[in-house]
Structure 1
Amino acid sequence: MNGADSGARSTLALLKAAFALAWQASPWLLAARIGVALAGGLAPVAVAWLTKLLLDLLVDGGTTRAVVAVVLALAATTLVGALLPAVGNFVDAELSRRTQLAGRAQLYRAIGGFGGLGRFEDPDFQDRLQLAVSDGPATPAQVTSNGLTIAQSAVTIVGFVAALASMAPWMAVVVAVAAIPTVRAELTLSRARAAMMLQLGHAGRRELFYADLISSVTAAKEVRIYGLSDLFAVRMTTELRKINRGMRGLDLRELRMQAALTGIGAVVAGGGLVWAALSARSGRLGVGDIVVFAAATAGVQNLLASIIGHVARTHQALLIFTHFQQVVRAPADLAPLEGLPVLPVPPLRDAIELRDVWFRYGPSLPWILRGVNLTIRAGRATALVGLNGAGKSTIVKLLCRLYDPTRGAVLWDGVDLRRFPIEELRERLGAVFQDFMSYDLSAAENIGLGDVARLDDRSAIEATAERAGCHLTVEKLPRGYDTLLTRFFSPDEVLEGEVPSGVQLSGGQWQRLALARAFMRADRDLLILDEPSAGLDADAEHEVHTRLRELREGSTSVLISHRLSTVRDADTIAVLSGGVVTELGDHDTLLAAGGTYAGLFTLQASGYTASPDARAELHPSTGG
């Protein structure tokens, strides 16, 4: 199969997918739109022929009955032709809304189906994903609308060319051949424009990145403190200029092509009209024939110009729709083990084991884990300790199956995690990450999202908040648990005397809500706490870890904390360095061994008593 055949098959497949989505959204609206397109395509040809018949009747002395019949038919056809665009616009708009809704649901269902983080951390896929999210859901409706408009114009052109062929076959051939370079030129321009959009995808993302930094609440403090607004504005403008340069070149290329094609069209139309006038003078054509010929040549040229634009827009929409389809049809990023049946996830009875686990984020990237062997006993607390980049958070991602090991395996009571359904596995996990989410939702929802099945169970949410130590804080909010925790949205109803905006919590308060969200799953098989007290003051941190100790009692937990005093009560402490476990034991054992853990613990402890000069020589960081 050559490239042209492959491209044609690909285009047909995309057209089929777009129309299938429109059909799924509303079969009757799509059928109505097809009917409007057919009627709209035939109406101009019918008007031209009826006008010809009327003129011929008037010139040749036709009967009054025949003249009236043709006039009524012409009036009805003209009326229908005038109404069809308005009907078409209404059907188009409603079909577009429904198709976009169906497309957006399909897209986000596919995105939600990505079980891991690999897709989201792949820059190339991110470019594709951005195009799919920003423009993809609208493209099926655009393809359908433009495609049917092209079909409508094609029906009219075929009718007019048939009319020309009945009078001068050679003229019909000339008009048809003259259309070929127009279509080819527009397809070439569409490919170039779509390729440029993909090529400039990185620049577009960077431009949006800097624009968001300048305008977002999240970055507002640092941007103003450090005076970064001008710097980011310059960088944003630089990326925008890069995009504009690429698009300007395409626009100039299109202008030159359009000028040449317009010249060809003018020559064809002008030559045809000269021939028609001479033929009428010699008696070979009648008055009605001249009208049809003029309508046909002008109509074909105008419709070709219209088709050019719609073909370009359809082709460009199809290329964007390609990204939409590639996201929607992307294979599973976390595949089950081949040749082995999928198993239900049993309650954890014995242990989770990392067996000779190697991991890196890409084939050309360095190894993060290098043959890690670690056993996390059921009902015990295991702490992970190490310097930044040692691989602690990566192990957490593997335990949550956000990634699969590059080599080796993570075993749940001896069974590889890849044999379990991802959703079912995660139902047995609870987690607080150091980069936890702050949802622009109510306080109750921010907690209840930890267990969607109990999202509306207010008593469970309040009890969990009590355990996390944030119940009183939430109770004091303007609307208690119903308070909207954001300034981006306003409450649906503003109470008398109430400020019409949500509430913004402090970092420590958000931390407690994130803990409460994890506590909604406190009864699960594995609780993961990745820097659970980051951002809290000393008193709050002590209180949180006291509650965590109570919560972890008798349950399986994995704890990461840069403050070693908070992990000393763990049953097992694993020290990671260079992607391997270098020390393993409880606090007393590791302290007595005098190794890395003992050194780090001593350094941190001395930070509370040593002089500033002595502390300056220490490097107690163990986060990350």
Structure 2
Amino acid sequence: MSTVRGRGGHEESAADTACAPAGAPGARAVIALRRLAAVCAVTARAAPGTLLLHMGLSLLVSALPVVTAWLMKLVMDDLASGAPGTLLLPGTAMACLGVTAVVASQAMRYARAELDRRVGLEMQDRLFAAVDGFVGLGKFENPHFLDRLRLAQQAGHETATHVAESILGVVRAGATIGGFLGSLLLVSPAMAGILLVAGVPVLWSEVALARRRARMLWEVGPVERREFFYADLLSSVEAAKEVRLFGIGPFLRERMLTERRTANAAKRAMDRREIAVQTGLGGLAALVSGGGLLWAVLAARGGALSVGDVTMFVAAIAGVQGALASLAGDAAQGQQTLLMFDHYTAVTQATSDLPVADRPRPLPTLRHGIEFRDVWFRYSPDLPWVLRGVDLYLPQGRALALVGLNGAGKSTLVKLLCRFYDPTRGAILWDGVDIRDVDPARLRERVGAVFQDYMQYDMTAAENIALGDLTVLAERHRSRERMRHAAQRAGIDGQLAALPRGYDTLLTRMFFTEEDKGNPETGVVLSGGQWQRLALARAFLRDASTRRELMILDEPSAGLDAEAEHEIHASLRSERSTRTSLLISHRLSALRDADVIVVLKDGRVAERGNHTLLMAAGGEYARLFTLQAGGYQLSAGEAPVAPEEAV
């Protein structure tokens, strides 16, 4: 598969950069067949029995109108011949066919719904298995890929069943057309040929319209996503405070409506084109039907056709035209759906954003240290360098702190160490082994981390902690004890135990469990500091259950008050004493006891040393530390505030 350079210099499949449908007719046909084969394979694998049942019922339903038309011919001929005694058999058969049609239609509707459920489950599983398989963060921080992922979720939910239904619709229509054309051939071969030829422009026009509609949907996609973005801002809990504080609701609403009007204009133009084309096709169909009916009446008057022949002829013309329209519509809908299926295949068939060695090297036990050797990094070739020739050495069992202004490259360095990205140039060595030669999963098993952008999971408190080590969910007796121990280390145990249902309290008001439906107040929203402690508890649980040789603490106390911060850092200092640590914090007082402090500036190492040496050097670290400490010092002549005077 051809590749192009993606974000961060990594390779992405050409499918990732596919745009609107284009290409020569032959190439489009080959691509469409490949899409069709992929969808059929997914459908057959997900629900083979249901698919066969649906196909059988579809063929049965498509044959019923033809059989009914023949029975009606027999009835009309018998009535015209004046022999009513022979009406019993065809009349009974028609009644049975009516019952069969009702039962088969309902059974087919159920089979279609079941197919939708099973195939939707299969496609959703395949999609998110592919997403979970991406090793790094490159795709998740790529706006183009995120847009495609959202479209893939929409397409994956309904594409397979829509395509399957379109295929079966084509099969049904084809069987109906074949049956009625066969009947017409017996009455008038010329009229059968005319109907067949008249159906060609119908099919061609519907397919062309489907292609135009798919292109229109692609073009309005960004417009609709912007509309959804503004709508989400107007309705989300996270944005509600600022929207009301700044009074920006009308501004956002107008932007949302502007995007909606733009999308509506494109869809309106497409609808008008479809109406014009289909009106013309309807006129052609009426002309053919009228001409055929006139011929049949004249032929019957001349004795060339019986009354039953005329009845069947009329039914055949209506049946063929209806089936042709259905066939064209199903084919067009199937093609349009297949075009949208590109988003799904682009995600599920995308290459990894990070290369993984076919034969990864084992990761040795960390005995010496971790080295950043002339590391350069930027997120894409057209963006500036974030790291520029960084050389660092983190000895085993020591604590190294990173200091720098926002944008200095501290968090990027952590991403490289966890191998969420690879360096653009240079290497990161773990006891001399390049981490690019190691299985990323094995590397991450040795790393424990608390990130500044920690997650808040809309689950129970127990589940929020258990996500650090899912094995506790299977340990009925020891799990709660282990979770409480981790929570105690994070200083959150007492607060969780005091919740309405203790550790089993749902930490959200967005949705509830079955038990919560009668009591909507059961859901609890934690404060930022409490969520941060919960994230620490999750990390502590994970750290206690596996062999972690490197601990990364990226702003682990940013949301805590002064007393809580002191307690957390005291606990973390005891944790750091037994392992290698990388620390990041804007509160320099939390880093002063680190063995080595490294100052990053503009992506380069500007200073390194311990707190005492760096303060004596009077450089960037001393400036930042003094600036921050000055906020806590009393001005000359300023008296301390008595406790009772404090607000």
Please tell me the TM-score bracket, short chain as reference. over 0.9
Aligned with residue 555 of structure 1, among 576, 579, 593: 579
Counterpart amino acid of 1:197? L
Q: Which runs of 5+ in 2 are unaligned?
A: 1-21, 637-647
Q: Shift in Å at residue 313 of structure 1?
A: 2.7
Q: Aligned pair in 2 of structure 1 residues 261, 472: CA closer, same or farther (>3 Å)?
A: same
Is 2:278 the partner of 1:278? no
TM-score w.r.t. structure 2 length?
A: 0.89
Q: Percent identity?
A: 50
Aligned with residue 366 of structure 1, among 364, 374, 384: 384
- What is the match of residue 193 of structure 2? 173
- What is the match of residue 468 of structure 1? 490
- What is the match of residue 597 of structure 2? 573
Asked if structure 1 preserves the Cα contact closer than 8 Å seen for 2:512 and 2:520, the reply is no
Counterpart amino acid of 1:201? G
Asked if structure 2 preserves the Cα contact closer than 8 Å seen for 1:572 and 1:584, the reply is yes
Aligned length, in residue pairs: 608
Is 2:601 the partner of 1:584? no
Asked if structure 2 preserves the Cα contact closer than 8 Å seen for 1:491 and 1:500, the reply is no
Q: Aligned pair in 2 of structure 1 residues 247, 427: CA closer, same or farther (>3 Å)?
A: same
Aligned with residue 486 of structure 1, among 487, 508, 511: 508
Q: Aligned pair in 2 of structure 1 residues 168, 409: CA closer, same or farther (>3 Å)?
A: farther
Asked if structure 2 preserves the Cα contact closer than 8 Å seen for 1:120 and 1:126, the reply is yes
- What is the match of residue 424 of structure 2? 406
Is 2:627 the partner of 1:603? yes
- What is the match of residue 616 of structure 1? none
- What is the match of residue 645 of structure 2? none
- For 1:495 and 1:166, how far apart are their aligned partners in 2? 67
- What is the match of residue 510 of structure 1? 531
SS in structure 2 at match of 1:200: helix
- What is the match of residue 432 of structure 1? 450
SS in structure 1 at match of 2:597: strand
Higher deviation after alignment, 340-349 or 412-421: 340-349
Q: Aligned pair in 2 of structure 1 residues 479, 78: CA closer, same or farther (>3 Å)?
A: closer
- What is the match of residue 332 of structure 2? 312
Asked if structure 2 preserves the Cα contact closer than 8 Å seen for 1:491 and 1:501, the reply is no
Q: Which runs of 5+ in 1 are unaligned?
A: 613-624
- For 1:528 and 1:493, how far apart are their aligned partners in 2? 38
- What is the match of residue 449 of structure 1? 467
SS in structure 1 at match of 2:198: helix
Asked if structure 1 preserves the Cα contact closer than 8 Å seen for 2:166 and 2:330, the reply is yes
Asked if structure 2 preserves the Cα contact closer than 8 Å seen for 1:136 and 1:320, the reply is no
SS in structure 1 at match of 2:522: coil
Is 2:306 the partner of 1:295? no
Aligned with residue 122 of structure 1, among 142, 167, 171: 142
Per-residue deviation, residues 152-185 of structure 1 (Å, max 9, x unmatched) = 1111012112222333223222212222222222
Is 2:132 the partner of 1:112? yes
Aligned with residue 378 of structure 1, among 382, 396, 404: 396
- What is the match of residue 30 of structure 1? 51
Aligned with residue 65 of structure 2, among 44, 47, 67: 44
Q: Residues 231-380 of structure 1 correspond to what in structure 2 (within 5 A)? A: 231-337=251-357, 341-380=359-398
Counterpart amino acid of 2:625? F
Is 2:558 the partner of 1:534? yes
- For 1:231 and 1:119, how far apart are their aligned partners in 2? 32
- What is the match of residue 11 of structure 2? none
Asked if structure 1 preserves the Cα contact closer than 8 Å seen for 2:195 and 2:288, the reply is yes
Asked if structure 2 preserves the Cα contact closer than 8 Å seen for 1:107 and 1:137, the reply is no
- For 1:272 and 1:409, how far apart are their aligned partners in 2? 80
Q: Residues 62-101 of structure 1 correspond to what in structure 2 (within 5 A)? A: 68-101=88-121
Counterpart amino acid of 2:298? L
Q: Shift in Å at residue 330 of structure 1?
A: 1.2
SS in structure 1 at match of 2:374: strand
Q: Residues 178-217 of structure 1 correspond to what in structure 2 (within 5 A)? A: 178-217=198-237
- For 1:232 and 1:348, how far apart are their aligned partners in 2? 53
Aligned with residue 172 of structure 2, among 152, 160, 172: 152
Asked if structure 2 preserves the Cα contact closer than 8 Å seen for 1:103 and 1:138, the reply is no
Per-residue deviation, residues 217-266 of structure 1 (Å, max 9, x unmatched) = 12222222222222221221122222111111111111111111111111
- For 2:480 and 2:362, how far apart are their aligned partners in 1? 31
Is 2:24 the partner of 1:3? yes
- What is the match of residue 619 of structure 1? none
Over aligned residue pairs, what C-alpha RMSD do you find? 2.3
SS in structure 1 at match of 2:542: coil
Asked if structure 2 preserves the Cα contact closer than 8 Å seen for 1:44 and 1:81, the reply is no
Counterpart amino acid of 1:432? V
Higher deviation after alignment, 264-273 or 15-24: 15-24
- What is the match of residue 519 of structure 1? 540
Q: Shift in Å at residue 396 of structure 1?
A: 0.9
Asked if structure 2 preserves the Cα contact closer than 8 Å seen for 1:448 and 1:517, the reply is yes
Asked if structure 1 preserves the Cα contact closer than 8 Å seen for 2:155 and 2:343, the reply is no
- For 1:517 and 1:134, how far apart are their aligned partners in 2? 33
Asked if structure 2 preserves the Cα contact closer than 8 Å seen for 1:18 and 1:143, the reply is yes
Q: Shift in Å at residue 355 of structure 1?
A: 2.0
Higher deviation after alignment, 405-414 or 378-387: 405-414
Asked if structure 2 preserves the Cα contact closer than 8 Å seen for 1:489 and 1:501, the reply is no
Counterpart amino acid of 2:108? G
Counterpart amino acid of 2:623? G
SS in structure 2 at match of 1:348: coil
Asked if structure 1 preserves the Cα contact closer than 8 Å seen for 2:397 and 2:579, the reply is yes
Asked if structure 1 preserves the Cα contact closer than 8 Å seen for 2:203 and 2:325, the reply is no
- For 1:518 and 1:379, how far apart are their aligned partners in 2? 19
Asked if structure 2 preserves the Cα contact closer than 8 Å seen for 1:429 and 1:521, the reply is no
SS in structure 2 at match of 1:520: helix
- For 1:55 and 1:579, how far apart are their aligned partners in 2? 91
- For 1:41 and 1:176, how far apart are their aligned partners in 2? 18
Per-residue deviation, residues 369-408 of structure 1 (Å, max 9, x unmatched) = 1222222222211111111111111111111221222222
Q: Which of the pair has the greater relative contact order for Cα pairs under 8 Å at 6+ separation?
A: 2
Q: Shift in Å at residue 512 of structure 1?
A: 0.7
